Amino acid sequence: MAKDLNIILFGAPGAGKSTHVEMLQDAGVDFSLVSLGKILRDRAAEDSDTGRKIKETMSKGDLLDDFFIRELVKDALRDVDKSKIVILDGFPRTLGQLEVTDQIFADLEMALPIMIYIKITQEEAVRRLSGRLICSECKSTYQEEFLDDKEKCEKCGGKLAQREDDTPEAIKNRFDLFEMQIDLIKHYFETRGRYYEIDGLKERHERHEDIMKVINSFND
């Protein structure tokens, strides 16, 4: 697998980014993952002013301050194993973040990232997020309608619950914020020949195949 491939996984809330990260893992793709959502949820659990501020912002579906996020991403990318493909999930989401993205990769002597955008409609996003359950232990996510046991995680036995920011108001807010930024971010990567779009309304195995095709096209 090409080591000089780095990927920004992009998509509205509910597009299925974390599902596809899991499917890539199961398919044996060797990558390091930096997930902003996960980093922030971990920080939000801290008993500190910063932790409480992050928790409050996330529960409303608002975005955190660009400067703070940029520093988090720099730190996370600095620490990650760069001998593998690096997949960055959840960044950039705003113009202020987009402006520094390539520079962060360049400063760390990493190949500039391609963007894989999983595209879905707002209607489908709301439907999926309303039925999303997350394991309180291992953080695996599930779609309620596909589960026999809606209480217990089938991977680790942990308790399943809705994510705190999967309320109808927070979902709408997150989607609206996303829509405001998408055109600019997409345009930036498109004009630099680093943009790949996946039809997020296809069946998930087909979506996975489409993502694998993009990754395999970078094989030496």
Residues 164-193 that bind ligand ADP (CB under 6 A): 165, 174
Task: Tell me the closest approach of the beta carbon of residue 136 to ligand ADP, in angstroms.
Answer: 15
Find the part of the chain contacting ligand ADP (CB under 6 A) among 89-97, 103-111, 142-150, 181-189: 89-97
Task: Tell me the closest approach of the beta carbon of residue 90 to ligand ADP, in angstroms.
Answer: 4
195 is an interface residue for ligand ADP by CB under 6 A: no
Q: What are phi and psi of 176, to 5 degrees?
A: -60, -45
Q: What is the DSSP letter of 62?
A: P
Pick from 93, 139, 207, 208 the residue near ligand ADP by CB under 6 A: 93
Beta bridge partners of 132: 143
Number of residues engaging ligand ADP in binding (CB under 6 A): 17
Pick from 16, 90, 113, 200 the residue near ligand ADP by CB under 6 A: 90
Task: Tell me the closest approach of the beta carbon of residue 7 to ligand ADP, in angstroms.
Answer: 15
62 is an interface residue for ligand ADP by CB under 6 A: yes
Count CA atoms closer than 13 A to 103's CA, side-chain side: 7
Place of tokens 């971990």: 42
69 is an interface residue for ligand ADP by CB under 6 A: yes
Alpha-carbon radius of gyration of the chain: 17
Task: Tell me the closest approach of the beta carbon of residue 63 to ligand ADP, in angstroms.
Answer: 4
Strands (E), 60-182: 85-89, 114-119, 132-135, 141-143, 160-161
Whole-number Å distance between alpha carbons of 56 and 165? 10
Whole-number Å distance between alpha carbons of 215 and 206? 14
Binding pattern to ligand ADP, positions 17-36, x when CB under 6 A? -------------------x
Smaller CB separation from ligand ADP, 90 or 200? 90
- Whose CA is closest to 183, among 58, 66, 98? 98
57 is an interface residue for ligand ADP by CB under 6 A: yes
Q: Which residue is nearest to ligand ADP (CB)?
A: 37
Whole-number Å distance between alpha carbons of 80 and 98? 20
Q: What is the largest CA-CA distance in the chain?
A: 48
Residues within the interface to ligand ADP (CB under 6 A): 13, 36-37, 40, 57-58, 61-64, 69, 90-91, 93, 97, 165, 174
